[in-house]
Amino acid sequence: MATEDAASDLIASAERKAAMARARFEYETDRAERHELLAGQARTQALKDMHMRIARIHRSTAACHLTAAQLQDDYLARLVGWSLQRGAPRPLFMAGVAEACGTESAAITLIGASHDQLALAASDEPARAAQELEFLLGEGPARDATNELRPVLADSAAMFDRWPGYGPAAAELGIKAVAAVPLSLSGRCVGALAVFDPIRGVADAGTLGEVAEALTRSMILGPDGDPGLYGATDMRAEVHQAAGMVSVHLDCPVADALQLIKAHAFAEGVSAHSVAVRILSGDLRLG
């Protein structure tokens, strides 16, 4: 069985977050209904239109909180099952995100002001490997979604045409289709949600965007959110620290040093993190 205290803490946290999301859903729904009632009582078209606009905003926000509550409920159920098993790996919050998006593989990348990838959370190894490829090659669906601030969809042929490096490399992982949407709020983009081999039509139907909005408002930028996604987010801190060290050694810009680390990792077929750890420990010196 899982460690009792650890399981209890995680279950309590998921229960609390799910309850808060449901409370916010109910509050926003009540506000929407109030303004819809006022719209029906309005004596002028201008007042009616104003109340209906406000009602639509509350309805949209309510839908976001409902999706967040459902994601938390799903994770809660996974945690309860895990707590009863001996030696089982702790479930990942992203596994539920992937399922909600109609796939088994999904990943979130968080970016900085210069659109550098700062953190990664994935549902499984294929999703993690695909996002590592984006980081190393500097191209791919999540990168385009954050740069262009719009959804990105591509199947096998389009993947090869759009991303000459990423497309073939992703195909070698067995990925036949990708979709990504930016994680943004009030014009600020903080990352992207990418899914791999989704059920046909899911992304087109808007599910991906709904999940992305719920993650952004509730889990990442929300007042009681958890950007670490219950400890499953891998930070790129070591990679950027290693880039600073290489920059000093080679007397070159940090951006160039980071590219050297990425190139070395890609050539060796390993993660940038593993290369960074070797650099920081003194076991590897580039240049």
User: Element (H or E) spanning 47, and its range?
Assistant: helix 45-83
The per-residue pLDDT for range 49-88, each reduced to its tens digit, is: 999 999 999 999 999 999 999 999 999 999 999 988 877 8
Rounded to an integer, the average pLDDT of 242-263 is: 84
SS3 of residue 182 by DSSP: strand
SS3 of residue 137 by DSSP: helix
Q: Specify the pTM.
A: 0.83
Rounded to an integer, the average pLDDT of 123-133 is: 92
Please give the CATH topology (third level) of the domain spanning 104-235: Beta-Lactamase (3.30.450)
Please give the backbone phi and psi of residue 162, each rounded to the nearest 5 degrees, phi first.
Answer: -80, -35
Residue with tokens 């205290």: 5
| Residue 192 pLDDT > 70 | yes
Asked if 106 contacts 78 with a C-beta cutoff of 8 angstroms, the reply is: no
For the chain, domain boundaries: 4-83, 104-235, 237-281
Burial of 218 (0-12, 13-18, 19+ CB in 10 A): buried
Asked if 11 contacts 80 with a C-beta cutoff of 8 angstroms, the reply is: yes
